[in-house]
Structure 1
Amino acid sequence: MAQHVSIHPDNPQARLLQRAAEIIRQGGVIALPTDSSYALGCHLGDKAAVERIRAIRGVDERHLLTLMCRDLSQIGQFARVDNATYRLLKATTPGSYTFILEGTRELPRRVLHPKRKTIGLRVPAHAVTLALLAALDEPLLTSTLIVAGDEGPLTEGWEIQDRLDSQLELILDCGNCGIEPTTVVDLTGALPTLVRAGLGALAPLGLD
């Protein structure tokens, strides 16, 4: 049975964040709010937890997960970032964007695109998520909380508990969360390429 805790959306309680971080380090899968929708999250290095997320989603290893980072320095540790890309990232993070970048050797091969060796990274603009990443002191591997067979993400903590109580260790509930996805941008080429238009504005990327 999942622990279901109410967390303040703007001033999250430190003790709840520390509990969440410890659960993640111990191999747990959690539900957490983000600036776009609720997400599933687990430790980057935990293969079993990753497989649990894929089972909830009903996807296989071809479906890539997103690495959620605290800031630009973490992105630079796990992805190859040149000067032009750094300036673009600095202008758009934190924000509702997922950036496709070439991964570094710090990442397990199983989380990279099998051919391109890329991964999606983001720095979310949500107080709870950023505070959790600070408490964890490392990135979080995540996927939008869409249950297998559903068309869209779950938007309420109680709804997540009803559907996934036995499949999660913790639900961080800060009330209704949105359903619009992040804007996805591929930064592996000479110019940014729009993969999916979503919440993040296109103008800062020169794609409007």
Structure 2
Amino acid sequence: MNTQRLGTSEQDILFAGKLLSQGEVVAFPTETVYGLGAVATDEVAVRKVFTAKGRPSDNPLIVTVADKAMVQQFAVENDMSQKLMAAFWPGSLTIILPMRAQAFSMTVTGGLNTVAFRLPDNEVARAVIRAAKAPIVGPSANTSGKPSPTTAQHVWHDMAGKIAAIVDDGPTTVGVESTVIDVSGNVPTILRPGAITQEQLVAVLAQPVHDATTTESVASDVTPKAPGMKYRHYAPDKHVVMFDELDAVDLAQKLQDNDVVMAQDRILQAMAIKSQQAWSLGDSLESATEQLFSGLRFYDDQPKVGTIYVQKMIPVGLGKAYNNRLAKAAGNQEFSI
């Protein structure tokens, strides 16, 4: 298949929508990571997404919409979802709701009676969906299990020849996938951390919000309610190890010539390592989160790189999302003195 690279002109967006409406798969930008789009009500097209990604069939897909009205056609809303949509949409929050009878196929939901929705804070993404005239599935546009794509070039690396087109809107701004909250039951529950934090969700809902991301796992015979809960995710082929900033100087003494370090600028300066061994995560938690997947992807493509050491962040707010993705990439391996 000849994968076309599209821009963000009106003509390109309309063409991307046309391809989607014809049953093709098109990668599209969001503020979090690039997504892999197919019309959510087209069973054949959705299966193409699983094939392109190499994604397990029981891993449910997020449905991406252009406006709140699209959700009402397919799911049963409630007071909690309405409050969350009013506060955080468009934005990097995915909301799981009870699905209306046979609204989507089992391929989309993984056989569950719930479905996850997101309204992205990216006008190009919303324009593509409007051009397709239907909601689209939107898993990350990468080979399943690998670091998520934050640029169109990352998508090209994984998907060239597998999908019809890629809409290039430049680098994403958040850098990690959306927060996923399940409000299909009585207790709102975070299933994946992201830029929208537990504290923000509690403030809007005015009730406790359970965080299942640090205490619960999904058994091998159970379908996960959200992506990233059950299978290996975000991991390059290279060996990745997390480290605490308090151990940075000790780590610097033990680095091999082919090892590399991803850390904030002040940490890299304190470690005094060679510039060719360093990837800057900037000077803020936001910049670190934005750069995490890019750095992992870059070093994964360098044949001579040995181990990738990556700085952990304080596990508060966005730091929870950052550490969640890093821990999965590293298989929970940490540097110890």
Q: State yes or no: 1:50 paired with 2:46.
A: yes
Q: Structure 2 vs 1, CA of residues 159 and 85 (structure 1 numbering), >3 Å: closer, same or farther?
A: closer
1:89 to 82, 85, 92: 85
SS at match of 2:19: helix
How big is the shift at 1:113? 4.1
Q: Which residue of 2 aligns with 1:164?
A: 159
Question: Where in structure 2 are the equivalents of 1:92-111 lying within 5 Å?
Answer: 92-105=88-101, 107-110=103-106, 111=108
Instruction: Supply the distance in 2 between the matched residues of 1:43 and 1:154 (Cα, whole angstroms).
Output: 21
Q: State yes or no: 1:124 paired with 2:120.
A: yes
Instruction: Supply the distance in 2 between the matched residues of 1:4 and 1:184 (Cα, whole angstroms).
Output: 30
RMSD: 1.8
Q: Structure 2 length normalisation: TM-score?
A: 0.56
How big is the shift at 1:161? 2.3
The one-letter code sitting in structure 1 at the alignment partner of 2:75 is: A
How big is the shift at 1:33? 0.5
Q: State yes or no: 1:133 paired with 2:129.
A: yes
Q: State yes or no: 1:4 paired with 2:10.
A: no
Deviations 1:162-202 (Å, cap 9, x if unpaired)? 43221111110111225311101000122311111112233
Q: State yes or no: 1:195 paired with 2:191.
A: yes
Q: Structure 2 vs 1, CA of residues 163 and 113 (structure 1 numbering), >3 Å: closer, same or farther?
A: closer
Q: Which residue of 1 aligns with 2:144?
A: 148
The one-letter code sitting in structure 1 at the alignment partner of 2:6 is: V
Q: For CA contacts below 8 A with separation 6 or more, give which structure has more relative contact order.
A: 1
> Does the 8 Å CA contact 1:67/1:121 hold for their aligned counterparts?
yes
Q: Which residue of 1 aligns with 2:297?
A: none
| Identical positions, percent | 25
Unaligned runs of 5+ in 2: 203-208, 210-316, 318-337
Number of equivalenced pairs: 201
Q: Structure 1 length normalisation: TM-score?
A: 0.88
Instruction: Supply the distance in 2 between the matched residues of 1:60 and 1:87 (Cα, whole angstroms).
Output: 33
The one-letter code sitting in structure 2 at the alignment partner of 1:164 is: M
Instruction: Supply the distance in 2 between the matched residues of 1:93 and 1:199 (Cα, whole angstroms).
Output: 13
Instruction: Supply the distance in 1 between the matched residues of 2:145 and 2:105 (Cα, whole angstroms).
Output: 28
Q: Which structure has the bigger radius of gyration?
A: 2
Deviations 1:5-56 (Å, cap 9, x if unpaired)? 222xxxxx22111101100011110111011100100012222222221122
How big is the shift at 1:149? 4.8
